[in-house]
Amino acid sequence: MIVFSNCKINIGLYITEKRADGYHNLETVFLPLPLFDVIELMEADTTTISVLGQPVPGSSEDNIILKAWWLLKNDFPALPAVHFYLLKNIPVGAGLGAGSANGAYALIALNNKFHLNLSTGQLSSYALQLGSDCPFFIKNKPNFASGRGELFEEVVPDLSGYKIVIVNPGIHISTPLAFSQIQPQPAPVNLKEAVSRPVEEWNNLVTNDFEEPVIKKYPEIATIKQSLYDMGADFALMSGSGSTVYGLFKKDTDMTPHFPDNYFVKMLGL
């Protein structure tokens, strides 16, 4: 079985509260992107994973895909061993949620292949055990997210007239380290209302709490963002805890992104 595991951007991101359980409450809008990793699984004697493409830090035994298998194995002892192949096209530690998506899609693939008959709600509950971003990828639709990032209200920003450019400079941002730089406070805007406005009005209204501390450590992020505006973007922002920056351009904008050859750059339709 093969599944295609996409990524997301955050349109706005506010860290509103440190919770007693050690997690943070947040407010953000998740928008799925048509950019994919590829996961293949087949029955095997032991459960292992092979990773191709973009480098994935750490031991393969710690890969979130294997964690998804073990999570289901605890509740479904008859779940067969599988070998996973992961073609990693999306950078890791980039604020695009690709690792979280890999975990969620591994759950979906295992559920479908082995007829576990898990509902969307049950899959979401398993996904939350893997990571705060993971439940989003079970439904995989634009949503306003709150709580840890697992409470959803559907929103549909009007991006029909836009294309997106994403730029990642190859800087790996540690999410725990990024959170340690944040002083939680109430969101300065009603994000659901803000993203219902025209994209041209998002600038200086929709922000990301992680952007300022990340830019202090990596000024290159600010340079990328300004370059996107110079190219004609109506809105640009760092996604998640970084280091990817995206720009929203009207579809008829005549532009070709120019960044260093070692950058990961993609132009996508929305």
Residue 8 bears catalytic tag:
yes
Tokens of 139: 């439904």
Per-residue confidence of the chain (270 residues) as pLDDT tens digits? 999 999 999 999 999 999 999 889 999 999 999 999 999 999 999 999 999 998 888 888 899 999 999 999 999 999 999 999 999 999 988 999 999 999 999 999 999 999 999 999 999 999 999 999 999 999 999 999 999 999 999 999 999 999 999 999 999 888 777 888 899 999 999 999 999 999 999 998 999 999 999 999 999 999 999 999 999 999 999 999 989 999 999 999 999 999 999 999 999 999
Taken in order of first residue, the domains within the chain and their CATH numbers are: 2-152 (3.30.230.10), 159-269 (3.30.70.890)
Residues 6+ apart with CB under 8 A from 78: none
- Within 10 angstroms of residue 54's Cβ, the number of other Cβ atoms is 16
E strands of the chain, at which residues?
2-18, 24-43, 48-53, 82-88, 143-146, 151-154, 162-168, 235-238, 245-250, 264-269
Q: What integer pLDDT is reported at residue 61 of this predicted model?
A: 83
3-state class of 138 per DSSP?
helix
Question: Of the residues 37, 133, 209, 234, which is catalytic?
Answer: 133
Dump pLDDT digits (tens) for 236-254: 999 999 899 999 999 999 9
CB 205 within 8 A of CB 195: no
Q: How far apart are CA 206 and CA 10, in angstroms?
A: 10
Question: Of the residues 8, 37, 209, 234, which is catalytic?
Answer: 8
Dump pLDDT digits (tens) for 113-141: 999 999 999 999 999 999 999 999 999 99
> What is the DSSP-derived secondary structure letter of residue 24?
E
Phi and psi, residue 236, nearest 5° = -140, 145
Q: How far apart are CA 192 and CA 189, in angstroms?
A: 9
Q: At what angle do helices 120-130 and 98-113 cross, to 10 degrees?
A: 140
Q: How far apart are CA 173 and CA 122, in angstroms?
A: 31
CB 13 within 8 A of CB 209: yes
Comparing C-alpha atoms, which of 28, 23, 25 is closest to residue 176? 23
pTM of the model: 0.94
